């Protein structure tokens, strides 16, 4: 029988468009220092470290985690890096859970960090074209990189595929309202990159096209920052919680799926995010959730794109595919609605420091479960080309 | 159409060895120009026949499973994972097919593709294939706009005149823009197509109202430009950028000067602008600068004409300029 595993400490650094003041060494240590302080333990009490770092080129180093082993005080202990595109953070959480549940270790540090916007295009004198170029090295090396593949256009393919399948959904006024809602939710998150950037639905609809059908204010921002969790197996978690006085948030379900990266017969169905469907169902099954619409109260969803947030909610079984806009039209995610989605502002407004993002989501979910006395949250990470990868986790308040 | 590059890394992408200091909260921080580069002589291995067929024979190949018969394009595997790795064999497929889904259109591209935007990229299922080939999409009629190519739209593979054995040697255009002979011809090259040339729009003679509108819009834009030049945040949107732009409207012409954070508008004719914008009503541009609708979208929707597609990049910066000014004002209020 696998051991129960819980979160006993968590912290993030502020997410920023650029951290001129800190390298990824310091960002990683900042989050780690705060996480062990939150758990009221010493770093010496942590047996293992799981690094979530997405892109070597961002950090300008292969094996970017190797200096962190010493900087984080983890020398001579187990350390492994996970890199699964946008889903890096959620997969890192999943990997750490497996090692603790399998009794390899009693405690683990799950630390994600990314320093993305040092990348700079000297031709246009701006960072963004170089940042998206750096991400674009993630496209298929033989068949797609040379024809302008980007993360945005590959997700847009799936979104347009969904709109082909379910015409009349993902209406511009709905995605605009969701973006505006997330901007309001970020207002109370002091770590959010866009804490004071509250936008109106009109502003979202008036913002420029980046990649059709995505407008600028319907896309997450690139961020720099770090996030860390302290995980522990059941007995150790209880001892830590007793000392810290903070409740344990149990990780009761995990589910992952990686789809085919090419489309067509027996390959990727471009009108769905099957990885989200399978990842969430596997997590529900492990957590013993029969009806997610009754169990899930809080969702920290990887909103790389607002349209994709809507599709992911449908793939999770929380809203029907054909009436996905009821998220707003029926008030499902509006204040006081059935689901609390991305109270931190999500990746759109808190920020997307890729390796750290889903760990930030877990940090936020833990805070909200405790603060609002909620029972169950779903954490989600999506990544790779055409939303190929998904990792989901169910968190439960004891 | 994009031109072939002669060097793997064009000179204009390569910055000088240099550093600078930025001061934040009275503390100096060092920023260094840097790079991380690796050159390759790549082995195309089992994919060689596919790329050689494109380069030398102007053919598209797929791989057919000897057991289930599925034809995959591109032929990315020599054995079928659905049939316990039964061997596949290469087959030629048609150069006409239908879009698997509605394709996205990239307006804001990566630094490597800024000169190619706007372009579509989507997946076409060629006749004779079961899977979709990822392709760039263009229209011969000008700027690619939403709705022009959709799920099910029939498209044709076009071969570039100069081919190097890469997937970028081909792209697609809608067959509705081709003659029946071109649709049926194998190995149709881009030089055989009738590409629309950018043509500056001509406007009718202005009325007195148009002239008054021009004066008013110009005055408002000039006032806005002063605010933008004074805004720390807005200046960042055009940091390091320099352009002199002629703007032609129905009732008059003026100049926009962008100079490393400074933004100025004057009623003046430029003798050699970097590029020209033309819009019948100057309010189109004024609204964009006032953050009431994106200037980018005005170009896409043909309300605003630009003489060089590459200057989409400057248009993006103007949109950012407008947004950053509003953001700064909002943040001040919020804090």
Q: pLDDT tens digits for A280-290? A: 999 999 999 99
At residue B92, does pLDDT exceed 60? yes
Q: Which residues of B touch A142 (CB under 8 A)?
A: 44, 47, 74, 76, 167
Picking from A144, A160, A213, the nearest residue to B101 by CB comes out as: A160
Chain-chain contact of B330 with A123 (C-beta, under 8 angstroms): no
Closest residue of A to B144, CA-based? Answer: A212
Question: Whose CA is closest to A58, among A35, A27, A30?
Answer: A27
Q: Shortest Cα distance from A278 to chain B (angstroms)?
A: 20
- Residue-wise pLDDT tens digits, B194-245: 988 778 999 999 999 999 999 999 999 999 999 999 999 999 999 999 999 9
- Residue-wise pLDDT tens digits, A293-332: 999 999 999 999 999 999 999 999 999 999 999 999 999 9
Closest residue of B to A143, CA-based? Answer: B167
Position A126 scores a pLDDT of 87
CB A156 within 8 A of CB A213: yes
Reported confidence tier of residue B302, pLDDT bands at 50, 70, 90: confident
Chain-chain contact of B100 with A20 (C-beta, under 8 angstroms): no
What stretches of chain B adopt beta strand conformation (E)?
19-24, 27-32, 60-65, 71-72, 79-80, 86-93, 96-99, 105-106, 119-126, 133-137, 154-159, 170-174, 242-249, 252-259, 262-266, 275-278, 305-306
Chain-chain contact of A210 with B297 (C-beta, under 8 angstroms): no
Position B1 scores a pLDDT of 47
What is the average pLDDT across A164-182?
Answer: 98
Who's near B197: CB < 8 A, 6+ residues apart?
none
Q: Shortest Cα distance from A200 to chain B (angstroms)?
A: 12
H helices of A245-349, in order, are 274-287, 292-295, 306-315, 326-329, 346-349
Using alpha carbons, list the distances in angstroms from residue A398 to A8, A241, A288: 12, 11, 15
Question: Whose CA is closest to A220, among A172, A190, A273, A183?
Answer: A183
Reported confidence tier of residue B301, pLDDT bands at 50, 70, 90: confident
Picking from B29, B72, B121, the nearest residue to A149 by CB comes out as: B121
CB proximity A218 to B under 8 Å: no
- Residue-wise pLDDT tens digits, A189-228: 999 999 999 999 999 999 999 999 999 999 999 999 999 9
The neighbour count for residue B205, using CB atoms within 10 Å, is 7
A212, A311, A349: which to substitute to probe chain B, counting the most B Cβ within 10 Å? A212
What is the average pLDDT across A162-181?
Answer: 98
Q: Place domain B208-334 in its CATH homologous superfamily.
A: SCP2 sterol-binding domain (3.30.1050.10)
* DSSP letter, residue B271: S
Picking from B14, B47, B294, the nearest residue to A142 by CB comes out as: B47
CATH assignment, A5-119+222-244? 3.40.47.10
Is the whole model's pTM more than 0.90, yes or no?
A: yes
* DSSP letter, residue B247: E
Picking from A124, A148, A271, the nearest residue to B119 by CB comes out as: A148
At residue B3, does pLDDT exceed 70? no
Closest residue of B to A188, CA-based? Answer: B334
Domain residue spans in chain B? 47-192, 208-334
Separation CA B20–CA B24 (nearest Å): 13
At residue B4, does pLDDT exceed 60? no
What is the average pLDDT across B91-107?
Answer: 97
Who's near A127: CB < 8 A, 6+ residues apart?
A18, A117, A118, A119, A120, A121, A222
CB B82 within 8 A of CB A266: yes
- Residue-wise pLDDT tens digits, A8-49: 999 999 999 999 999 999 999 999 999 999 999 999 999 999
- Residue-wise pLDDT tens digits, A259-288: 999 999 999 999 999 999 999 999 999 999
> What's the ipTM?
0.93
- Residue-wise pLDDT tens digits, A87-111: 999 999 999 999 999 999 999 999 9
Domain residue spans in chain A? 5-119+222-244
Position B9 scores a pLDDT of 87
At residue A375, does pLDDT exceed 90? yes
Reported confidence tier of residue B2, pLDDT bands at 50, 70, 90: very low
Separation CA A287–CA A295 (nearest Å): 10
CB proximity A320 to B under 8 Å: no
């Amino acid at each position: 029988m696998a051991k129960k595993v819980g979160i006993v400490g968590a912290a993030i650094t502020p997410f920023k468009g650029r951290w001129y003041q800190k390298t990824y060494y310091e960002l990683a240590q900042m989050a780690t220092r705060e996480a062990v302080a939150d758990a009221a333990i010493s770093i010496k009490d942590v047996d293992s470290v799981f690094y979530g770092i997405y892109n070597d080129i961002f950090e300008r180093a292969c094996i970017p985690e190797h200096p962190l082993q010493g900087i984080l005080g983890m020398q001579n202990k187990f350390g492994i890096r996970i890199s699964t595109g946008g889903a890096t953070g959620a997969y890192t959480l999943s990997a750490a859970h497996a090692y603790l549940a399998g009794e390899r270790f009693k405690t683990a540090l799950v630390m994600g960090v990314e320093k993305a916007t040092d990348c700079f295009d000297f031709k246009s004198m701006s960072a963004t074209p170089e940042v998206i170029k750096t991400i674009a090295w993630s496209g298929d090396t033989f068949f797609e990189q040379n024809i302008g593949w980007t993360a945005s256009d590959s997700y847009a393919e799936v979104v347009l595929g969904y709109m082909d399948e379910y015409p009349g959904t993902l209406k511009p006024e709905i995605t605009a309202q969701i973006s505006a809602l997330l901007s309001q939710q970020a207002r109370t998150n002091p770590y959010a990159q866009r804490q004071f950037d509250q936008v109106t639905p009109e502003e979202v609809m008036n913002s420029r096209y980046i990649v059709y059908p995505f407008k600028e204010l319907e896309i997450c921002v690139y961020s720099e920052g770090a996030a860390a969790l302290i995980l522990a197996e059941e007995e150790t978690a209880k001892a830590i919680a007793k000392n810290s006085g903070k409740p344990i948030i149990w990780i009761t379900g995990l589910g992952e799926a990686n789809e085919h990266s090419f489309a067509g017969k027996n390959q990727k169905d471009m009108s769905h995010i099957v990885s989200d469907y399978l990842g969430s169902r596997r997590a529900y099954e492990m957590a013993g959730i029969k009806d997610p619409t009754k169990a899930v109260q809080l969702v920290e969803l990887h909103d790389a794109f607002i349209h994709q947030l809507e599709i992911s909610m449908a793939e999770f079984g929380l809203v029907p595919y054909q009436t996905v806009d009821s998220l707003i039209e029926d008030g499902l995610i509006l204040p006081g609605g059935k689901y609390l989605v991305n109270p931190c502002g999500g990746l759109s407004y808190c920020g997307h420091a890729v390796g750290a993002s889903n760990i930030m989501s877990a940090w936020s979910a833990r805070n909200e479960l405790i603060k609002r006395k909620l029972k169950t949250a779903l954490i989600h990470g999506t990544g790779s080309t055409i939303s190929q990868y998904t990792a989901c986790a169910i968190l439960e308040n004891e | 159409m994009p031109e072939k590059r002669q060097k793997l890394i064009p000179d204009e992408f390569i910055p000088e060895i240099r550093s600078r200091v930025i001061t934040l909260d009275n503390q100096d921080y060092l920023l260094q120009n840097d790079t991380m580069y690796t050159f390759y002589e790549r082995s195309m291995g089992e994919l060689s026949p596919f790329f050689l067929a494109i380069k030398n024979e102007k053919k598209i190949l797929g791989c057919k499973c000897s057991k289930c018969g599925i034809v995959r394009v591109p032929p990315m595997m020599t054995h079928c994972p659905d049939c316990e790795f039964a061997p596949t064999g290469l087959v030629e497929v048609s150069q006409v097919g239908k879009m698997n889904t509605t394709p996205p259109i990239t307006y804001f591209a990566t630094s490597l593709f800024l000169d190619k935007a706007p372009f579509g990229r989507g997946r076409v299922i060629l006749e004779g294939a079961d899977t979709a080939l990822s392709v760039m999409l263009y229209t011969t009629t000008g700027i690619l706009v939403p709705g022009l190519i959709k799920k099910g739209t029939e498209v044709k593979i076009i071969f570039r005149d100069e081919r190097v054995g890469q997937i970028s040697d081909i792209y697609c255009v809608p067959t509705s823009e081709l003659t029946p002979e071109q649709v049926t011809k194998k190995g149709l090259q881009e030089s055989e197509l009738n590409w629309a040339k950018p043509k500056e729009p001509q406007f009718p003679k202005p009325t007195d109202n148009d002239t008054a509108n021009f004066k008013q819009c110009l005055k408002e834009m000039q006032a806005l430009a002063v605010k933008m030049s004074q805004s720390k945040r807005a200046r960042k949107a055009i940091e390091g950028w320099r352009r002199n732009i002629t703007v032609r409207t129905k009732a008059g012409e003026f100049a926009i000067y962008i100079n490393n954070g400074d933004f100025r508008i004057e009623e003046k004719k430029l003798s050699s602008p970097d590029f020209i914008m033309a819009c019948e009503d100057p309010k189109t541009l004024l609204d964009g600068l006032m953050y009431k609708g994106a200037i980018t979208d005005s170009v896409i929707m043909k309300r605003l004409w630009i003489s060089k597609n590459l200057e989409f990049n400057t248009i993006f910066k103007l949109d950012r300029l407008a947004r950053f000014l509003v953001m700064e004002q909002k943040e001040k209020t919020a804090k």
